Amino acid sequence: VRRKRPHAVDNEIQKTMKRIFITTIAIICLQKTTAQQTPDKFDCIAETPGMTTNMGIISFKTNRTWKVGTQEWSDAVTTSKCKKNEFQGVSSGKFNADCRENPGYGDLFSWCAVSRFQNQLCPAPWRVPTKEDFIVLDIALGGDGEGYVAEKEITEYRVSGYGKVPSGTRKMTQMDLLNEYLNSWGGTFGGKMFNPDSFFGSLGFTSQGRSGYYWTQTKHEINSAYSMYFSNNGIIQPLTRHGIQEGLLLRCVRGTIDKSLIYSFWASTQPKPDEFGCISETPGMTTDVGIASFVSDRTWTVGNQTWSDAVTATKCQKERFRGFSDILNHFNADCRSNPGERGDLFSWCAVARFQNQLCPSPWRVPTIEDFKDLDLAMGGTGNTRWRATEKDIQFVENNYITRWGGDFSGFHNERWFVDQGKGANYWSSSFIMRDPEPVSSRQGPTMTMTPVRGSVDGTPLYLRFDSDGGVGFTVVRSNQANGKTLRCVRDK
């Protein structure tokens, strides 16, 4: 019998051990993969013990129901599977179907829990409310479907882009409406659960006795959904949004709603938009912007153009800027004071509506071609360039800042005043449409403007340069709700 040599036996043993090791690893990986839950269509999983298949619903706490207008509402929902202080919200990058006990107020559910178990939480004929349900509720209780902001919060909420300043179209004061939410609808200040992985994670459970938060079934963005919110100081937001990992209250509703009634109601109470799709709610700006001057201690001549300094207006108010006006997606003719020689920040709607006051003849609002000609006259290429070389930085400093008198004045986006000291943004009258077939242009008194039908239709163009040497004449993300600086131009 032919026997294997010792080293050959060793090789066979090594090969066998290797196969066993690989097989073992594969089995472990398969077990882990099998154990992990597959996200559902909402990108949600359910890791809370006992919640994989059901929520253990007890009842709607229906000691009574609440009839408001055409809707009937349940009381706050509770479930036997919620556990005190056990709430994760997020696990392994996915969102959990979690709920937390909240005795006396109704349990707090993540949006994933509401979405995955909606048929148990709100069984037919009940349903999880949509965002329109809360708008209809607010109107039926005496609001306007948009919301109240407490007077002391007006500045903060206008800056952030949330909230609505009382416009005189409502049927009652904000505190009276809050009482309707509490008494006629049975709302409670049940608080909410912040997720430990969120920006506010360290706060955990918060706001009980001060605020009430209620989910809708309507998704907002990939990680957020619409909700309703009110607080004991009179802030009422029938349409706000929260991260889907947070824990909010849930009320079920039954009854049909006619969405057209919502828009008819809003249309009857909102200012009518002009040919640019703009309205003007900023106090004192309905007919004028109170132009004082161009801050024209001097003018700036470059090539064949003469430029004013940055425009200011007496009607601009510090930190009072909203841009967007309402849920119908109109835009406000807003401006925000920006003290110093930086010039005020105007929405594109303010520039469009008040062009003859902002840039009276022979001045005019510049086109994007005017800005390209300016760049060429200063030795640039007339094209967008975002190179951050020392040469580019010196070009911006020597030409746009020193020769043209520009400034890194920042801008106001939909929520915040940002970028001051880093970037400069100057409106043009030019507007690019996203539609394949642009709507017809309208000739203004001194320039051509394209009527605006909403942010989805197009974007106004502007000049931008920054402290890193970048210069641009096109837009990546902007709309007529942003606040930017304005310089007027006239031909030499």
> Could you list the mean pLDDT of each consecutive 10-residue stretch along the chain, which spans 492 residues?
54 65 55 52 62 60 79 90 78 77 90 88 91 88 69 33 38 80 94 66 76 92 86 86 90 82 63 63 52 64 93 78 60 78 83 84 90 94 80 92 92 80 89 45 32 47 90 70 90 80
pLDDT at 338: 82
What tokens appear for 202 in the block?
Answer: 């360290």
- What does the pLDDT read at residue 82? 82
The DSSP call for residue 163 is S
Give the Cβ contact number of residue 349 at 10 Å.
28
Classify strands 487-491 and 278-279 as parallel, antiparallel or unpaired.
unpaired
- Sequence-distant (6+) residues with CB within 8 A of 162 are 237, 240, 415
pLDDT, position 304: 93
Model pTM? Answer: 0.52
pLDDT (0 to 100) of residue 23: 62
The token pair at 31 is 């077990």
- For residue 67, the model assigns a pLDDT of 93
Structural contact between residues 189 and 209, judged by C-beta atoms closer than 8 angstroms: yes
Element (H, E) at 31: helix 6-35
What region does 209 belong to: left with phi over 0, alpha with psi -120 to 50, or beta? left
What single-letter amino acid sits at 48?
Answer: T
Amino acid in position 161: G
pLDDT at 211: 93
